Copies of this chain bind each other. A is one copy, B any other.
């Protein structure tokens, strides 16, 4: 199939772009207005730098910026993990999707998402987005007056890196058979519109936050959201050809375990920023504690899934070990700052066991998720959120509310994803043809294979 931007596609794109362009125009105008008082400078004044508390603010904001860089590198981690666990004939396609997600993700978050997720006030369920641009002359954006931990732009760049993660999780689950243009539109809607909505519920001060729901760095807000969005997409999409045959399940093995391992190690590295940065300052106690619980859970997740899969599959399975690390990381994400060190080990161990059985379960019921994204992010994201209700040393955290919150976000993600994906299926189709799938998306969609090793 040739990829033309046909009329239907163009209309869809144009429809989506309209509000954004309005936002830019508006944003530029605003910025122009703001610049009126005189020339702006991106640098703090000497008075401010010499003022009390400046150093603390500087180290806080620096950590948020570095954490943003670490979360950014998770997108390379996802790209290599997903590539490694799938067939070499679909590698270009996966890398292309990941470039698309991170780049449009940042732009959409600037044009709409940031202000939609953090509206300041609102009805608790939904807020309109708008261009995020701020005024460099406005001290209430550039100093601790805005937030003790970061400037307006530190806040934006850290949150923007998070936003794209949701669609990246889906990318792995739908790999090897999804139609590129459909995925591109789907990802844009998911990252641009849906993620800020449920994100607002908790982190933007919406209805879940008001009920005392706790999700430190996003076991639910990011991971369960992505995992259950992925589940809906996979259900509509169906399994890859040849996976579930009349003679049983035929494993479709990944093409490069080194790539997959690189991915998981980079994801772990990125999680230092994901969880560590979620302390929202460089608070020595909070940052070092979160990194400790995060690493303990990752380690415990790997060990648990190594032994679990060894017993179940009768061999030491590398991809299960790698998924165990991710399971532990996803599991500890909701409570990294609020559970004991011993509890973080237990949370990781449980996540490492869960992920093995969950992957086998979904395979058994013929839900084809090439990289185990639904299990790692969806199921372990739920587990991590619920675990806060069990292990937290803050008596304010309630098991019931934790369950409510993770279920609410997961259902929202599932339904939203289902509807969007279903509509896309009706309008333009979501799956490549059988010939294209068999040929591989790299040649069929991109006209170029990923490898030429002579």
Contact = CB atoms under 8 A, between A and B. Distances in A.
Interface of A: 2-5, 24, 27-28, 31, 35, 39-44, 49-50, 53-66, 68-70, 72-73, 75-76, 79-80, 83, 87-89, 91-92, 95-96, 98-100, 102-107, 110, 131-134, 136, 142-143, 150-154, 156-157, 160, 180, 253-259, 261-262, 265-266, 268-269, 272, 276, 279, 282-292, 295-296, 298-300, 302-303, 306, 310-311, 314-318, 321-322, 325, 337-338, 340-342, 345, 393-395, 445-448, 450-454
A290 B42 contact: yes
A62 B291 CA distance: 11
B257 A450 contact: yes
Contacts of A337: 42-43
Contacts of A265: 73, 75-76, 79
A75 B49 CA distance: 34
A338 B43 CA distance: 10
B291 A153 contact: yes
A440 B57 CA distance: 54
13 contacts: A3-B314, A28-B342, A40-B393, A42-B338, A43-B279, A62-B287, A88-B452, A100-B321, A105-B299, A106-B298, A134-B341, A256-B453, A318-B446
A150 B288 contact: yes
Contacts of A27: 341-342
Given A43-B286, A62-B287, A325 B99 contact: yes
A193 to B, nearest CB: 18
Contacts of A60: 58, 284
Nearest to A156: B292
Contact of A445 (B75, B269, B316, B452): B316
Chain A contact residues: helix, strand, loop or mixed: helix
A295 B337 CA distance: 29
Given A88-B452, A446-B318, A453-B453, A157 B73 contact: no
Contacts of A95: 257-258, 261, 318
A53 B46 CA distance: 12
A69 B272 contact: yes
A313 to B, nearest CB: 8
Given A42-B285, A99-B306, A100-B302, 7 more contacts: A3-B310, A4-B314, A42-B283, A44-B284, A107-B303, A151-B284, A154-B284
A157 B272 CA distance: 11
A44 B286 contact: yes
Contacts of A39: 393-395
A60 to B, nearest CB: 8
Contacts of A299: 102-107
Given A256-B453, A296-B106, A61 B287 contact: yes
B452 A321 contact: no
B446 A88 contact: no
Contact of A269 (B69, B288, B302): B69
Contacts of A291: 65, 68-69, 153-154, 157
A341 B31 contact: yes
A136 B289 contact: yes
Contacts of A152: 288
A272 to B, nearest CB: 4
A54 B59 CA distance: 11
A330 B287 CA distance: 29
Contacts of A283: 42-44, 49, 58
Contacts of A288: 61, 64-65, 150-154, 156-157
Contacts of A254: 452
Given A59-B58, A255-B453, A454-B88, A110 B70 contact: no
Contacts of A341: 27, 31, 110, 132-134
A44 to B, nearest CB: 5
A55 B154 CA distance: 19
A342 B31 contact: yes
Contacts of A69: 70, 269, 272, 291
A300 B107 contact: yes
A448 B314 CA distance: 13
B257 A451 contact: yes
